[in-house]
Every structure is written in C-alpha cells, then in structure tokens.
Amino acid sequence: MSKFVKELISKHLASELDGVSEALLVNVVGLEANKTVALRKQLRAKNIRLMVVKGSLARRATEGTPLGAAFQSVEGSLAVVFGSSDIVSLAKEVVRIAGDKQFEGFTARGGVMDGAVLTAKQVDEVSKWPSREEQLSLLVGQILSPGSKLASQLIGPGGAVASQVKKKSEGEESTAEGEPEPATA
C-alpha cells in the first residue's frame, strides 16, 4: 500500500473516530460474512458501531487522541466498537456477544476508558458494573426515599387527627338526632 493511500485511510479513520473518547477493541477474525452482517445489525439496533481496521493505520489515525492509547500495543487487524450510551453498556454488549455461540470467534481484546488502556479481562470486569441508566435509577430511588418517608410521616398523624375529628362530629350528630327537640310556646 502506498503512503498516499495509507494517508487517505488514516484521515478517513480519524474523521470516523473524531469525538470518540471511549471504545473497545474486538477480534472478528473467523466470522463468516453472514454472521458479520447479523452482528452489525444487532449492534446498530443498540446504536453501536463496529469498524474493522488495521492496527498500524488506526495507531496513525488516533495519535494524540484519547483513543491513541488503545492502539499502542496492537498488531494486525481488529475491530473497533464504539457508541452506546456509556462504556459500561458497550462492555456489557461486547461480553454478551462474545458468549453467544452464534458469533464464535468474536472476542474482546481490550479498549480505552477515560484515557486508560483496558485489557480483555478488564473489559469483562467493566461489564459487571451498573450502567448509566442503572446508576441513575439507583440515585433517583435514594433521592426519593427520604421524601416519601417524610411525606408519610406528615400525612399519617394528620390523617389520624382528621379521622378522630370526623368520628367526634358524627357522634355529636347522632346524639343530637336522638334528643327530643325543645318545645316552643
């Protein structure tokens, strides 16, 4: 491949990966074409992109970017997976697909998260963390819990007092109905 072609490919990769700060590297060697199409379709449904690249060209394209660290020690071809709502959701999806017998040969090779290089084992560990959505639901639950407890404590005694007042007023009405009316002259 000529230098001119390598430069064109590097520029294209750089433009495709522009703005991406977290990604995972996976191995797709050995997947049949039909399985690769099915894999890309599944990933696209979850807003995840898969791009097969040559390690040296990706290294050149990502030099000086947050993704640059991921490509420093890779050789040969590999695929870059990026997108999703956060890196944890991305790792969960990669680990799920790697365990799927339909996509035998698809394995995690590492990645980059917050500028730090991840190994394949660390990708598996990250996939066990709660995703952004799960973290937000836990946080909202923790925020709403004291408020609901306070509301029940405020409403509880007020309801008891209102019930007692209602019973008392009903008791006066029944005694008032049972008494004879005073005679008028």
Query: Residues 6 or more apart from 72 whose CB is under 8 A from it?
Result: 59, 117
Residue 102 forms part of a structural domain: yes
The last residue of a domain, from among 129, 146, 175: 129
What is the count of structural domains for the chain?
Answer: 2
What are 22-51's pLDDT values in tens digits? 999 999 988 888 999 999 999 999 999 999
* pLDDT for 41: 94
Q: Are residues 122 and 137 in the same domain?
A: no
Whether 138 has a pLDDT exceeding 90, the answer reads: no
**Beta bridge mates, 80:** 25, 51
For residues 66 and 86, membership in a common domain is answered with: yes
Q: CA 7, 11, 17 angle in degrees (round to 5)?
A: 140
Phi, psi (deg, nearest 5) at residue 163: -65, -40
**Helix/strand/coil for 77:** strand
**Strands of 62-143, DSSP E:** 77-83, 107-113, 116-118
Co-location of 87 and 137 in the same domain: no
Q: What is the mean pLDDT of residues 58-82?
A: 87
pLDDT given for residue 153 in this prediction: 76
CA distance 79 to 57: 12
Residues in Cβ contact with 119 at an 8 Å cutoff, skipping those fewer than 6 apart? 110
Say which CATH number the domain at 37 has.
3.30.70.1730
Q: Identify whether residues 26 and 111 lie together within a single domain.
A: yes
User: Global pTM?
Assistant: 0.70
- H-helix or E-strand spanning residue 18: none
